[in-house]
A and B are shown apart, each in its own frame.
Chain A
Amino acid sequence: MLNWSLILNNFSIKFNAVSNFLKNKNLNYKKAQSLINNTLVDCDDGELYLEDTKSESILLDDNKIKSSSFKRDTGYGLRGVIEDKVAYSHSNDISEKSLEMSCDNIKSTLKHSNGKYNHSINKTNQKFYDEIDPIENKSLGTKIELLKEINKYVRSKDECVKQVTANFLGEHKNVEILRPGGELFTDSRPLVRINVSILVEKNGRKETGMYGVGGRQSYDNYLKNDDWKKICDEAFRMAYANLESKPSPAGEMKVVLGPGWPAILIHEAVGHGLEGDFNRKKTSVFHDLVGKKVASDGVTIIDDGTIDKKRGSLNIDDEGTPTEKTVLIENGILKNFMQDRMNARLMKTKSTGNGRRESYKHVIMPRMRNTIMLNGNNTQEEMIKSVDKGIFAVSFGGGQVDITSGKFVFNCTEAYEIVNGKIGSPLKGATLIGDGPSSLKQVLMVGNDMKLDPGIGTCGKAGQGVPVGVGQPSMLIDNMTVGGTQL
């Protein structure tokens, strides 16, 4: 599931290095190392994951600063893996006593294990974001002032603006991954988001518009040169367009998707179904389709963790594997699944650096990073011209998929009717529903205007939310069911 959720959310490899976490705590590096060596010796894989996350949320709502809050979360998670079994124990208490308890817990689940620990992890010096603390990087006072200015600016645009909500979400996550034998991997991950949502009212009708930006760099990179006004303008444009919207049609029709954020269709329709765990367990509709045609010619989809400063990028994943650019579908043919270490080992392939977790409180799963459909040759204009009756979908609130049946939905927050090759009235929030494996075979045209989303997506899976990115060019789909009220 991918959401517009408002929840928050220098890399180096050192060998036998000293952990930053285990300096001043009730646990020293040597002791931790000996405990995990002991516990994981008969396992196939596993690690001690340490995390220290600072986060902030500053919210302006209803003309006021409604909250300014700060959070500090530290803890560890110890994982032992044998064959397809995972034992996990986590705590906030980084102490010898607590870690011993976790070791006992892991051993009791994985008793009689007789694994062969796999030490191999590729090393890299790749770095896709700077080691900065975005929270300290901009003073609270200036953030509050800017939120007030945003409020003033949006309200001055038109008297139909009735509510403005704006917030800054910042996070700085430091992780260390300690593996038996003294391997230590570290990463320092900044992440920010700036959101503006607007409620407009005119002639008794209320509509909303939302826009946001973000990524793995300081707030100022998104705000300089009055760039913050563009965020406001876009949210206002969407809200204002919706004031004129009419009820959406129901039934099957052609759909043109705009570039950028509408790629949540890719994320839901095929992305989740190509995650290693579902395919290893054979519960995904795609599990036996590698090498087969799953999409129209010209459709190429990648999952890329290496894009500079993007929300879904990572230097290393949460198992220590360097991220990469993984080709999922090439010219319509299914090439690869996204893998973490365990699912890769069980499927006799290698990790693609997709092993992620929300925090130390969560187990590793294969998760998407930045999932992108690459450019084709068509123009958006051609696509719209070719449609007699259909929908032009520009923005979405969120989407969801049922991996097993392949059915997915997403909710339009900005869409227009297409009548006789021309864009018509805006349409009221409609749901689009489709079937993952067949929908990409119905792609009639792929545009040449690929865009990444502005940095706002949080993907939810099994109760864990992780920041992700999506991207695509405009795209024409032959047949999708639109869930409106008008027959």
Chain B
Amino acid sequence: MVPSFRMLKEDEHLKKLAENFLTNLKKSGASDSSVLISNSVSESVNIRNKKLDGSTRSDSINVVLTAYVGKKKSSISSSNLEEDHINELIKKCVDTAKITPEDELNSLPDSELYFKGIKNLDLYDETFIENSKKIDFIKEAEEQAFKKKEIVNTNGSGFSQNKSNFILANSNGFIDGYKSSNFSAYCEVVAKSNGSMERDYEFSSKRFFNDLLEPKEIGQKASELAINKLKPRKIKSKKMKVVFDKRIAKNFLSSFANAITSSTIAKGTTFLKDKLNNQIFNDKINIVDKPDIIKGIGSRYFDIEGASTNKLNLVENGVLKNYLIDTYNGKKIKMKSNGRASGTTNLFFENGHEDYKNLLNSSKEIVYINETFGSGVNIITGDYSVGASGFMVQNGEFIYPISEITIAGNLNEIFNKMVLGNDLEFSYSTNSPTMFVDELTIGGK
């Protein structure tokens, strides 16, 4: 049995609080209002070189109050939910709204958009893992990694368990929320050989404890990745064909999602403005945002405004079919919210037709990129330029690691040229198969 203090606050308790706050907001002069109360309890352990490094326990609660006075709006958040304190903040919130300029687009979502369905996605695992068991789990991963003689150190490995609950309520009568859980384990190791030192990691993150990768598998993968990077070379600047590892290819989806979010569309700060129903990828590319994957890391019933979140085919055969829309910006671009005020859910490229080997063999010489860094994506122009490391691949074989290079191009061109593998997996909330792009500029020696 789990001791009660380790548990989340229950729905009924949070609902009662939320209803009280709504009542007080109304009494204080708010014409409309919403309340979001979230509570989370998480426990994590970190180890280093197979020994305990530390533990963290975190218990947090927070409320966000939003008051509308006609078309004026203000919001306040607080981690102190004591009644006197909240009443003071409610008054401040309404007073602030009153002196904030009017915006005719301010409103709660229309009533027909609220989530009314059944919550059956299995997002909460009751399992409680004691710290000693967390330590055993992640130690096993490091022990596996240290079986390789090149692994001389770790940057730290960890296990964390996070449980959260929230209630969203508004003056339109919406009141709902749910619990969710997350278990994650990571292992980051340092390989050394002849003066070269490199790090790499592997991790697993799931809603349910039993779905995590085996610790041995995590340690094994982390050690292989770090060792393979040892003694990298820098290559000459030239145009080259590039294969992006899955863990990097997914970043193009994140940039794409930023570029089709209604707030950027409304402001015109995106290279994909006015591209709805236009061909923006080649015709083999399909992109889906699917909120209803059972146990999905990104799964969700409704967004931060309470609007129902349904499956969206964002790109079909290369054609942009939908934006990601919230209530406010939706009004601005004269479209209805599709429940994306909290962003994407489980976002992915559908599988392509090429298998991994074929992608590596698609040219005599290829750079394989499995790490990029820097924030070099400009979604206004689509310009792309990042630091990178990876491998030289010749005739389908990994020949040597490369580092300290840059890759540059433009997202329009990359979207148009990309070829996808058939190896999609759901390791993150945003996922891509392995990706091939015909010619990008490599900056090196």
Chain A residues at the B interface, C-beta cutoff of 8 Å: 3, 61-62, 64-75, 84-93, 98, 101-102, 105, 108-109, 140-141, 144, 148, 162-163, 199, 205-208, 248, 250-252, 281-283, 285, 361, 363, 397-400, 402-405, 407-411, 428-431, 433-435, 481-487
Flag if B378 contacts A429 (CB, 8 Å).
Answer: yes
Flag if B57 contacts A361 (CB, 8 Å).
Answer: no
A398: chain B residues at CB < 8 Å are 374-375
A285: chain B residues at CB < 8 Å are 197
Flag if A84 contacts B387 (CB, 8 Å).
Answer: no
- Alpha-carbon distance between A418 and B262 when the two chains are bound, in angstroms: 40
B269: chain A residues at CB < 8 Å are 163, 199, 206, 208
B432 at the interface (CB under 8 A from A): no
Expressed in whole angstroms, the minimum distance between the Cβ of B164 and any Cβ of chain A is 14
Expressed in whole angstroms, the minimum distance between the Cβ of B327 and any Cβ of chain A is 13
Flag if B77 contacts A482 (CB, 8 Å).
Answer: no
If the complex has contacts A92-B59, A92-B80, A251-B443, are A411 and B383 also in contact, measured as CB distance less than 8 A?
A: no
In-complex Cβ contact of A409 among B58, B85, B374 (8 A): B374
- Alpha-carbon distance between A66 and B62 when the two chains are bound, in angstroms: 22
In-complex Cβ contact of B155 among A91, A208, A250, A404 (8 A): A404
- Alpha-carbon distance between A162 and B380 when the two chains are bound, in angstroms: 13
A361: chain B residues at CB < 8 Å are 58, 60
Flag if B100 contacts A65 (CB, 8 Å).
Answer: yes
B24 at the interface (CB under 8 A from A): no
Flag if B443 contacts A73 (CB, 8 Å).
Answer: no
In-complex Cβ contact of B79 among A72, A88, A399, A487 (8 A): A72
Expressed in whole angstroms, the minimum distance between the Cβ of A469 and any Cβ of chain B is 20
B343 at the interface (CB under 8 A from A): no
Flag if A410 contacts B374 (CB, 8 Å).
Answer: yes
B56 nearest CB neighbor, chain A only: A88
Flag if A64 contacts B103 (CB, 8 Å).
Answer: yes
B74 nearest CB neighbor, chain A only: A68
Flag if B57 contacts A483 (CB, 8 Å).
Answer: no
Expressed in whole angstroms, the minimum distance between the Cβ of A207 and any Cβ of chain B is 7
- Alpha-carbon distance between A250 and B239 when the two chains are bound, in angstroms: 10
Flag if A70 contacts B96 (CB, 8 Å).
Answer: yes
Could you say which of B47-55, B217-225, B278-286 contacts chain A? B47-55
- Give the 3 A-B CB pairs with smallest separation, nearest first: A483-B406, A409-B387, A409-B374
Flag if A141 contacts B99 (CB, 8 Å).
Answer: yes
If the complex has contacts A64-B103, A105-B57, are A433 and B404 also in contact, measured as CB distance less than 8 A?
A: yes
In-complex Cβ contact of B198 among A140, A205, A405 (8 A): A405
In-complex Cβ contact of B373 among A208, A400, A482 (8 A): A400
B8 at the interface (CB under 8 A from A): no
Flag if A140 contacts B99 (CB, 8 Å).
Answer: yes
**What are 9 of the A-B contact pairs (CB < 8 Å)?**
A92-B79, A199-B267, A250-B406, A404-B197, A408-B387, A429-B383, A431-B387, A433-B404, A484-B385
Flag if B444 contacts A481 (CB, 8 Å).
Answer: yes
In-complex Cβ contact of B376 among A70, A90, A411 (8 A): A411
Expressed in whole angstroms, the minimum distance between the Cβ of A245 and any Cβ of chain B is 10
A66: chain B residues at CB < 8 Å are 103
B78 at the interface (CB under 8 A from A): yes
A163: chain B residues at CB < 8 Å are 267-269
Q: Pick from A250, A363, A398 the residue with the most CB of B within 10 Å.
A: A250
B191 nearest CB neighbor, chain A only: A404
Flag if B57 contacts A102 (CB, 8 Å).
Answer: yes
Q: A70-B93, A101-B5 are in contact. List 17 more A-B contacts (CB 8 A).
A: A61-B267, A67-B73, A71-B76, A73-B79, A84-B48, A92-B61, A109-B54, A199-B267, A398-B374, A404-B198, A410-B374, A429-B383, A429-B385, A431-B406, A434-B404, A483-B376, A485-B385
If the complex has contacts A68-B96, A400-B374, are A483 and B443 also in contact, measured as CB distance less than 8 A?
A: yes
Which B95-125 residues sit within 8 Å CB-CB of chain A?
96, 99-101, 103
In-complex Cβ contact of B54 among A93, A363, A483 (8 A): A363
Q: Pick from B77, B131, B375, B410 the residue with the most CB of A within 10 Å.
A: B375
- Alpha-carbon distance between A429 and B376 when the two chains are bound, in angstroms: 8
If the complex has contacts A207-B380, A251-B443, A481-B405, are A89 and B375 also in contact, measured as CB distance less than 8 A?
A: no
B385: chain A residues at CB < 8 Å are 248, 411, 429-431, 483-485
Chief secondary structure at chain A's binding surface? strand
In-complex Cβ contact of B374 among A87, A144, A431 (8 A): A431
Flag if A65 contacts B267 (CB, 8 Å).
Answer: no
B407 at the interface (CB under 8 A from A): yes
- Alpha-carbon distance between A231 and B121 when the two chains are bound, in angstroms: 49
In-complex Cβ contact of A69 among B77, B389, B406, B407 (8 A): B77
Flag if A485 contacts B408 (CB, 8 Å).
Answer: yes
- Alpha-carbon distance between A404 and B188 when the two chains are bound, in angstroms: 11
If the complex has contacts A398-B375, A409-B373, A409-B386, are A86 and B190 also in contact, measured as CB distance less than 8 A?
A: no
A93: chain B residues at CB < 8 Å are 59, 61
B422 at the interface (CB under 8 A from A): no
A483: chain B residues at CB < 8 Å are 376, 385-387, 405-408, 441, 443
A53 nearest CB neighbor, chain B only: B79
B353 at the interface (CB under 8 A from A): no
B148 at the interface (CB under 8 A from A): no
Expressed in whole angstroms, the minimum distance between the Cβ of B369 and any Cβ of chain A is 13
B45 nearest CB neighbor, chain A only: A109
If the complex has contacts A206-B381, A404-B190, are A250 and B237 also in contact, measured as CB distance less than 8 A?
A: yes
B153 at the interface (CB under 8 A from A): yes
In-complex Cβ contact of A109 among B79, B131, B155, B268 (8 A): B131
Expressed in whole angstroms, the minimum distance between the Cβ of B324 and any Cβ of chain A is 18
B238 at the interface (CB under 8 A from A): yes
- Alpha-carbon distance between A102 and B58 when the two chains are bound, in angstroms: 9
B233 at the interface (CB under 8 A from A): no
Expressed in whole angstroms, the minimum distance between the Cβ of B35 and any Cβ of chain A is 14
Flag if A69 contacts B75 (CB, 8 Å).
Answer: yes
A206: chain B residues at CB < 8 Å are 268-269, 380-381
Flag if A90 contacts B57 (CB, 8 Å).
Answer: yes
Flag if B101 contacts A65 (CB, 8 Å).
Answer: yes
B312 at the interface (CB under 8 A from A): no
Expressed in whole angstroms, the minimum distance between the Cβ of A411 and any Cβ of chain B is 5
Expressed in whole angstroms, the minimum distance between the Cβ of A146 and any Cβ of chain B is 13
Flag if A98 contacts B59 (CB, 8 Å).
Answer: yes
- Alpha-carbon distance between A207 and B379 when the two chains are bound, in angstroms: 11
Q: Pick from A61, A73, A433 the residue with the most CB of B within 10 Å.
A: A433
Flag if A407 contacts B389 (CB, 8 Å).
Answer: yes
Which B362-388 residues sit within 8 Å CB-CB of chain A?
373-376, 378, 380-381, 383, 385-387
- Alpha-carbon distance between A53 and B73 when the two chains are bound, in angstroms: 23
Flag if B387 contacts A433 (CB, 8 Å).
Answer: yes
B100: chain A residues at CB < 8 Å are 65, 68, 140, 144
A94 nearest CB neighbor, chain B only: B80
A431: chain B residues at CB < 8 Å are 374, 376, 385-387, 406, 408, 443
- Alpha-carbon distance between A144 and B267 when the two chains are bound, in angstroms: 20
If the complex has contacts A251-B444, A363-B56, A431-B386, are A72 and B381 also in contact, measured as CB distance less than 8 A?
A: no
If the complex has contacts A140-B99, A206-B381, are A72 and B55 also in contact, measured as CB distance less than 8 A?
A: no
Expressed in whole angstroms, the minimum distance between the Cβ of A23 and any Cβ of chain B is 14
A108: chain B residues at CB < 8 Å are 131
A428: chain B residues at CB < 8 Å are 381, 383
- Alpha-carbon distance between A73 and B60 when the two chains are bound, in angstroms: 10
If the complex has contacts A68-B74, A73-B78, A88-B55, are A433 and B405 also in contact, measured as CB distance less than 8 A?
A: yes
Flag if A85 contacts B443 (CB, 8 Å).
Answer: no
